């Protein structure tokens, strides 16, 4: 299902956090949400999965405003995997946790039917958690837990998947496996990612959030430009599609220099003060030289 966020404004504790944010994820697309710490990514996700009501603006999934749907109806469409969001899991096994994903589909009696069992079995197998399906969830490692939480989300058979730093605890192989899995689900996905290389690999499109405003959105190579990477993330970097079809980023060894007030000095990125993103860029040059290195 298509996700549309239109002119979303969110204020928390009298502080405007999101300023008229608009974005779109077409049906089946994997859209990456990137931006520096505190730029508003998690807040935006909370609004998308209907845990935070916006002051203004609309979040629509499949064309319906999520706040016009019941919480249950919205949960049948959208599943979220959040950072360290385990909820109340004490004493539950992995299979029981994954089964919780079926709750929005249950009738009044709340009993699991054949379809529920199939969805749980499928999700457990797809996410590779079968070897510890009978273990106490609390006894799992961080990476194992993250797989289980993805399995719970997939058991929900959502039409929109919302992921907040899903790959945090995962080793490099597990990251690739999980990202590949997400791509093969065909479910529309909005994923917050800090690792820009992973974002470039996983995503059809990328949205860059900076200080609560969308400063760039579009296909990976159109968005991960040296100017955006310097202006928003404060690094010298460039993205390039390699012969194997994978987009990789090359970073300079050091970040851009910052002044005493935390503002970025202009390095070699050729930015001017009016560049997209709005970080103030002083006219001075960084005093150090930047060696190009590959990560």
Ligand X SMILES: Nc1ncnc2c1ncn2[C@@H]1O[C@H](COP(=O)(O)OP(=O)(O)OP(=O)(O)O)[C@@H](O)[C@H]1O
In the complex, which residues of this chain contact ligand X (CB under 6 A)?
12-13, 15, 17, 35, 37-43
User: Minimum CB separation from ligand X for residue 283, in Å?
Assistant: 28
Q: Is the dihedral of CA 55, 57, 60, 63 positive or negative?
A: positive
Tell me the torsion sign for CA atoms 284, 289, 292, 295: negative
Question: Of the two residues 97 and 166, which places its CB atom closer to ligand X in the complex?
Answer: 166
Shortest Cβ distance from residue 200 to ligand X (Å)? 18
Cβ neighbours of residue 106 under 8 Å, at least 6 residues apart?
112, 116
Query: E strand or H helix at 15, and its extent?
Result: strand 15-25
Q: How far is the CB of 255 from ligand X (least distance, A)?
A: 16
Q: Which C-beta is closer to ligand X: that of 1 or that of 48? A: 48
CB-neighbour burial class of residue 153 (10 A; exposed 0-12, middle 13-18, buried 19+): buried
CB of 208 to ligand X, least distance (A): 11
- Minimum CB distance to ligand X smaller for 245 or for 262: 262
Residue placing its CB nearer to ligand X in the complex, 21 or 129: 21
Nearer to ligand X, 17 or 166 (CB): 17
Task: Count CA atoms within 13 Å of residue 83 on its CB side.
Answer: 12
- Asked if 274 and 231 touch (Cβ cutoff 8 Å), the reply is no
Q: Is the CB of residue 45 less than 8 Å from the CB of residue 5?
A: no
In the complex, the smallest distance separating the C-beta of residue 44 from ligand X, rounded to whole angstroms, is 7
């Amino acid at each position: 299902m298509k996700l549309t966020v239109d002119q979303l404004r969110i204020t928390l504790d009298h502080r405007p956090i999101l300023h008229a944010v608009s974005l779109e994820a077409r049906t089946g697309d994997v859209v990456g949400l990137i931006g520096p710490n505190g730029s508003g990514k998690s807040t935006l996700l909370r609004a998308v999965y209907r845990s935070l009501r916006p002051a203004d603006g609309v979040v629509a999934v499949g064309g319906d405003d999520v706040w016009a749907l019941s919480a249950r109806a919205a949960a049948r469409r959208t599943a979220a995997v959040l950072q360290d969001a385990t909820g109340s899991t004490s004493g539950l096994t992995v299979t029981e946790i994954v089964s919780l994903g079926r709750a929005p589909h249950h009738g009044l009696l709340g009993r699991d039917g054949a379809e529920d069992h199939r969805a749980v079995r499928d999700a457990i197998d797809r996410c590779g958690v079968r070897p510890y399906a009978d273990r106490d969830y609390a006894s799992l490692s961080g990476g194992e837990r993250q797989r289980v939480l993805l399995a719970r989300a997939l058991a929900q058979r959502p039409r929109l998947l919302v992921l907040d730093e899903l790959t945090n605890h995962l080793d490099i192989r597990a990251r690739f496996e999980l990202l590949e899995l997400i791509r093969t689900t065909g479910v529309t996905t909005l994923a917050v990612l800090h690792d820009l290389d992973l974002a470039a690999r996983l995503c059809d499109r990328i949205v860059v959030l900076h200080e609560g405003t969308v400063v760039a959105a579009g296909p990976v190579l159109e968005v991960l430009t040296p100017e955006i990477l310097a202006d928003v993330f404060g690094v010298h970097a460039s993205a390039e599609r390699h012969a194997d079809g994978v987009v990789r980023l090359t970073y300079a060894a050091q970040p851009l220099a910052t002044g005493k007030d935390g503002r970025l000095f202009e390095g070699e990125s050729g930015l001017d003060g009016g560049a997209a993103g709005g970080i103030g860029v002083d006219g001075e040059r960084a005093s150090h030289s930047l060696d190009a290195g590959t990560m």
